[in-house]
């Protein structure tokens, strides 16, 4: 998708510090971190949101890479949270499906 900011990161047209990569996904820090650890993991293939995800195979590399980067940050010792905002009520802003990895401090539940 030409006008998608995350597709541009996948293509290397917008800089991002790559924290990990596998065959179908890349991970990079969120530009506006909300937590001590705040990493985004995205599929290389453009899908606007989980509403378009179909059988879910595109997400397998995303989950695998999320667990890998969380481990590399030491979060397997303390716990972490994976969030995929989907659509208006969840405040999804970037229309390329992305998983937030949050960690580094105790979190509250439920979300607001
Ligand atoms: P969401 O509300 O789930 O759509 O979140 C989109 C996230 O993308 C926000 O946390 C933004 O800070 C983040 N973001 C937007 N542009 C960039 C960028 N160029 N590099 C890294 N993170 C970004
Ligand atoms: Zn995209």
pLDDT of 90 > 90? The answer is yes
How far, in Å, from the CA of 73 to the mean position of ligand 2? Answer: 26
How far, in Å, from the CA of 108 to the mean position of ligand 2? Answer: 31
Strand order in the sheet with 80-83: 20-21, 25-29, 37-43, 99-103, 80-83
Average pLDDT over residues 36-59: 97
98 is a catalytic site residue: yes
CA 15 to chain centroid, in Å, comes to 16
pLDDT of 112 > 90? The answer is no
Reported as a single tens digit per residue, the pLDDT across 47-57 is 999 999 999 99
Please tell me the predicted confidence (pLDDT) of residue 1: 81
Q: Is the CB of 94 under 6 A from ligand 1?
A: yes
Domains of the chain: 5-103 (3.30.428.10)
Q: What is the mean pLDDT of the chain?
A: 97
Whether residue 30 contacts residue 63, with contact meaning beta carbons closer than 8 Å, is answered with: no
pTM of the predicted protein model: 0.98
Reported as a single tens digit per residue, the pLDDT across 61-86 is 999 999 999 999 999 999 999 999 99
Is cis: bond before 110, omega within 30 of 0?
yes
Q: Is the CB of 73 under 6 A from ligand 1?
A: no
**For a pLDDT cut of 70, what percent of the chain falls above it?**
100
């Amino acid at each position: 998708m030409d006008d998608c900011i995350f597709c541009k990161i996948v293509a290397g047209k917008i800089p991002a510090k790559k924290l990990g990569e596998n065959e179908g996904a890349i991970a990079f820090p969120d530009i506006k971190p909300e937590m001590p650890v705040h990493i985004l993991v995205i599929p290389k293939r453009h899908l606007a949101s989980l509403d378009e995800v179909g059988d879910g195979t595109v997400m397998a590399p995303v989950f695998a890479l999320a667990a890998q980067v969380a481990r590399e940050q030491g979060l397997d010792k303390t716990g972490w949270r994976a969030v995929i905002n989907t659509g208006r009520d969840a405040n999804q802003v970037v229309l390329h499906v992305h998983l937030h990895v949050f960690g580094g401090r105790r979190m509250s539940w439920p979300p607001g």
